[in-house]
């Protein structure tokens, strides 16, 4: 059921497929106007069509999240075009997996640029329209790799771990402004990225997960939808690991 408030505007990066698309659909179902962001306009328009077919509202904006100037312009354009920006979901991310001894500086820098620097720039730019509106929700998508590390992913794990401290700091800075900042850390989820994993890796991941299966994008979207809701006004600086119990201690 949609929240009974005037329509808020949400930006979801990496919204062309998988987790990002599911998040966008969940926020639209809450009654938000969702701005879908990724590089592939055709894929974004498919998600937009699905949202509209379900009775929701969405628009499409393309952006290369590795381009800092483009990220800033994206957020400014959303606020200018809609007169507000209420919810920011930083979901876009890339991997450049390699063992540390073989990892190039470019492989490290590329991941940091998309997974961390773009979040810094998007959040910094989005805070002004959120403060003008006296309401805001920032949800950053991390990973269990950021919680426990993963061999061959030191760059990815570093970027996703950094989001935890970044988001907690942001939550403390913005709490008095009625702006919350929280993290969702997915485990192994059924997406295009996990579909291509060898069966032996999939089987090992399922064996290491107490619920013995991969999660679904909609299960990540549910956690994001809570953080983005009116009911989450007293929740900030928190991390929810949606990972089938993989990191429970």
pLDDT tens-digit series, residues 85-104:
999 999 999 999 999 999 99
**Residues in the chain, total:** 249
Q: Among the CATH numbers 3.90.1300.10, 3.40.50.720, 3.30.420.40, 1.10.510.10, which is that of 9-242?
A: 3.40.50.720
Q: Tell me whether residue 226 is one of the annotated catalytic residues.
A: no
Catalytic residue among 88, 89, 147, 156: 156
When pLDDT is averaged across residues 25-45 and rounded to a whole number, the result is 98
Residue 99: phi, psi to the nearest 5?
-65, 145
> What value, to the nearest 5°, has the Cα angle with vertex 15 and ends 222 and 246?
45
Confirm whether pTM is higher than 0.75.
Answer: yes
Domain locations along the chain: 9-242
pLDDT tens-digit series, residues 116-136:
999 999 999 999 999 999 999
Which residues sit opposite 13 in a β-bridge? 37
């Amino acid at each position: 059921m949609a929240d009974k408030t005037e329509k808020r505007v949400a930006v979801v990066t990496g919204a062309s497929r998988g987790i990002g698309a599911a998040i966008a659909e969940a926020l639209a179902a809450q009654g938000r106007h969702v701005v879908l962001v990724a590089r592939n306009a055709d894929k974004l328009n498919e998600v937009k069509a699905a949202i509209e077919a379900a009775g929701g509202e969405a628009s499409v904006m393309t952006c290369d999240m590795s381009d800092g100037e483009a990220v800033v312009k994206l957020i400014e354009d959303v606020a200018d075009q809609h007169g507000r920006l209420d919810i920011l979901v930083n979901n876009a991310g890339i991997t450049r997996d390699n063992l540390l001894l073989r990892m190039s500086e470019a492989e490290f820098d590329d991941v940091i640029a998309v997974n961390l620097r773009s979040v810094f720039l998007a959040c910094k730019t989005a805070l002004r329209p959120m403060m003008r509106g006296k309401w805001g929700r920032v949800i950053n998508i991390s990973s269990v790799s950021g919680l426990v590390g993963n061999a061959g992913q030191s760059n990815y794990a570093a970027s996703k771990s950094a989001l935890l401290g970044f988001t907690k700091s942001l939550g403390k800075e913005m709490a008095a402004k009625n702006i919350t900042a929280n993290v969702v850390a997915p485990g192994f989820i059924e997406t295009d990225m996990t579909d291509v994993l060898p069966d032996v890796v999939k089987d090992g991941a399922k064996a290491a997960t107490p619920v013995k299966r991969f999660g679904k994008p909609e299960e990540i979207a549910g956690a994001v939808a809570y953080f983005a809701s009116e009911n989450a006004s007293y929740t900030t600086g928190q991390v929810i690991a949606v990972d089938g119990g993989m990191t429970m201690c």
